[in-house]
Structure 1
Amino acid sequence: MLRVVVLGAAAGGGVPQWNCRCEVCRAARSDQPELKRSQASIAFSADGAHWFLVNASPDLRQQLIATPQLHPKAGALRHSPIAGVILTNGEIDAVTGLLSMREGSPFSIHAHPKVLAILKSNSIFNVLGEKTVKRVPIGIDQAFEPALPDGSPSGIEVLAFTVPGKGAWYLEGKAHPGGDDGAGDTLGLRIRDRATNRHFFFLAACAHVTPELKARLKGAPLVFFDGTVWRDDELIAAGLGAKTGQGMGHIAMSGDHGAIAALADLAIDRKIFLHINNSNPALLAGSKERKLAEGAGWQIGADGTEIVL
């Protein structure tokens, strides 16, 4: 049985963002606390006892406190059910939470060699000693079974694949520690329970939907998909930034080439947007954007959502 918990559903900065008074952030601070969301990450498990994270957001500590499934087990002085972390990119909101896991519990970090090169190039990540925290490179389209800390099989198969996107913004204009060939900067994941064959997809970033990606996602039981912005020029129109969604490597929800249109008619059982920016009006329950998204069969991700496949 495959279990998934949404630890965070927001894009970088969360909701409310610390320095923002946009409509969504104002509402989240006042009369609509249900709008609050931490930065995007999920946890999944095949047995309910050992869990893997997808990405480690800067909000990881508070996410773990809020998630009983990830608490230390009763009777143990030091323990964590977290067996590993799978990184889909090297962005700040995907890797910074690793620093909150520096207290000596064993787990593994699985990432593309380019992302592992980023970690290696920054000495602050040395607090995660490699004798305790193994760093395991993953290949494109090469399915693997992440092991539990004692070396036993997890019962889970993970397949990473390339997704149109961009490298970490803090490396723009600089030499990438892992090389500049573009491969491995943005990954999607297919995660499968080997016992039941149930599976789901996770894509926190995606610049556009290719025919190959449509073929992968067709008929999936569950898809978590990039929901950063509602419209491509959203940040510019709201006066919150100078970049478009495409300029940041993210597809818009709406529009003829947006995610809603691109992933329609693929017989996906459940579609959930996550990595949602505070600027996105689809976060507001009464908005026309929310109604359009839900009318098209999409769910707006929220922290704490648990799904059993």
Structure 2
Amino acid sequence: MKIKVLGSSAGGGFPQWNCNCRNCDGVRKRTLKAIPRTQSSIAISETGRDWLLVNASPDILAQIAANPELQPARRPRDSGIAAVLTIDAQIDHVTGLLMLRERDTPLPLYVTDPVWQDLSTGFPVTSILAHYCGVERHRIALDGQALSVPALPNVRIDALPLTSKAPPYSPHREAPERGDNIGLVFTDTVSDRRVFYAPGLGAIEPHVYEAMSNADLILVDGTLWTDDEMIRLGLSKKTGADMGHLAQSGAGGMIEVLDSIDRPGARKVLIHINNTNPILVEDGPERRILAEHGIEVASDGMSFEL
């Protein structure tokens, strides 16, 4: 099983187009040791030819261009993207669907019922695509049954409901539904090795912790270093918890959670990193703290094989 990080940043990317925080200003002026990142997305493959795209970032066209594996050029019009799965209906995870409209067959799309509702109403991507390639909907049922995708015949996919809120444009924004946001476990049925993926994670519920503890690769929410990060910088009135993200530092933070997982050989990698997060600075003290705890920071183009 091959895993490719297409984008490792939170919504807005890094640097964010309208942000002049220390990180964004520093990476533009090259006064910080930091590299730009596109918005969060990964791709999974068995063969390296056909890929399941997990989250369709607004940066998908740049990500395809940067990853030749996604354009195998087997015929005049071709793509290595065999299907798409989105974990929620947030703008930074679904806008890229519109960029795939030139397909000559309906786009296979794996989503939960609440996400399908959002993509059919509040942000009607599916209605728009109906005028182009169309969408072939595959339901993620959250009934305990594993999901299978034809492009990944030897990979079992388990979807885990997460405590979260639907996007602001969702009809049920103020009435959260099971399936608004999910985490994923990918299991290679040949090697029995597992990947846990949850770029948005606000609470470590028992079923989530169990999945993380049994994973050989943990790709998990790395949005903010501190819960009040955006407030202190004067960029938002919301805490990380308000936005559905568990901060890395502090009591009960992601570092503490990952420290408690002692699976031999497991790699622990933060993904979906906000432009304000000091872990983006490669020679900064926060990055050194992560290294001391055996925690890595995802970057665009990073790849794993299990």
Q: Note whether the superposition's TM-score is higher than 0.5.
A: yes
Specify which of 201, 205, 210 is matched with residue 200 of structure 2: 205
User: Aligned pair in 2 of structure 1 residues 100, 169: CA closer, same or farther (>3 Å)?
Assistant: same
For 1:176, the equivalent position in structure 2 comes to: 172
For 1:248, the equivalent position in structure 2 comes to: 243
Specify which of 293, 296, 305 is matched with residue 293 of structure 2: 296
Quick one: distance in 2 between partners of 1:22 and 1:238? 8
User: Aligned pair in 2 of structure 1 residues 176, 60: CA closer, same or farther (>3 Å)?
Assistant: same
Quick one: distance in 2 between partners of 1:118 and 1:197? 34
The code of the aligned residue for 1:163 comes to L
Specify which of 124, 129, 133 is matched with residue 135 of structure 2: 133
Q: CA deviation at 1:88?
A: 0.5
Which is worse superposed, 122-131 or 83-92? 122-131
Q: CA deviation at 1:131?
A: 7.3
Q: Sequence identity, in percent?
A: 36
Deviations 1:33-73 (A, max 9, x none): 84200000000101211100111111111111110110142
In structure 2, list runs of 5 or more residues that go unmatched: none
Contact 1:272–1:299 (CA under 8 A) maintained in structure 2: yes
Within 5 Å, which residues of 2 pair with 1:153-302? 154-171=153-170, 175-176=171-172, 180-268=175-263, 269-302=266-299
Contact 1:227–1:252 (CA under 8 A) maintained in structure 2: yes
Contact 1:105–1:132 (CA under 8 A) maintained in structure 2: no
Contact 1:9–1:40 (CA under 8 A) maintained in structure 2: yes
User: Aligned pair in 2 of structure 1 residues 6, 131: CA closer, same or farther (>3 Å)?
Assistant: closer
Q: CA deviation at 1:191?
A: 0.8
Q: CA deviation at 1:208?
A: 1.6
Quick one: distance in 1 between partners of 2:124 and 2:90? 16
Contact 1:9–1:302 (CA under 8 A) maintained in structure 2: yes
Contact 1:218–1:266 (CA under 8 A) maintained in structure 2: yes
Quick one: distance in 2 between partners of 1:155 and 1:132? 27
The code of the aligned residue for 1:128 comes to L
For 1:81, the equivalent position in structure 2 comes to: 80
Contact 2:160–2:208 (CA under 8 A) maintained in structure 1: no
Contact 2:114–2:177 (CA under 8 A) maintained in structure 1: no
The code of the aligned residue for 1:166 comes to K
Superposition TM-score, scaled by structure 2 size: 0.92
Within 5 Å, which residues of 2 pair with 1:7-18? 7-18=6-17
C-alpha RMSD of the superposition: 1.9
In structure 1, list runs of 5 or more residues that go unmatched: none
Q: CA deviation at 1:123?
A: 4.1
User: Aligned pair in 2 of structure 1 residues 39, 68: CA closer, same or farther (>3 Å)?
Assistant: same
Quick one: distance in 1 between partners of 2:34 and 2:76? 34
Quick one: distance in 2 between partners of 1:303 and 1:154? 26
The code of the aligned residue for 1:176 comes to H
Quick one: distance in 1 between partners of 2:33 and 2:63? 16
User: Aligned pair in 2 of structure 1 residues 224, 124: CA closer, same or farther (>3 Å)?
Assistant: closer
For 2:54, the equivalent position in structure 1 comes to: 54
User: Aligned pair in 2 of structure 1 residues 193, 128: CA closer, same or farther (>3 Å)?
Assistant: farther
The code of the aligned residue for 1:57 comes to S
For 2:65, the equivalent position in structure 1 comes to: 65
Q: CA deviation at 1:181?
A: 5.0
Q: CA deviation at 1:146?
A: 1.1
Deviations 1:74-122 (A, max 9, x none): 4x11011111111111111111010000002444110101101111224
Contact 2:102–2:133 (CA under 8 A) maintained in structure 1: no
Quick one: distance in 2 between partners of 1:271 and 1:206? 15
Q: CA deviation at 1:132?
A: 5.1
Quick one: distance in 2 between partners of 1:208 and 1:165? 9
- Secondary structure of 1:260's match? helix
Q: CA deviation at 1:275?
A: 0.6
Contact 2:55–2:93 (CA under 8 A) maintained in structure 1: yes
Quick one: distance in 2 between partners of 1:124 and 1:266? 39
Quick one: distance in 2 between partners of 1:123 and 1:139? 21
Contact 2:101–2:133 (CA under 8 A) maintained in structure 1: no
Quick one: distance in 2 between partners of 1:137 and 1:219? 25
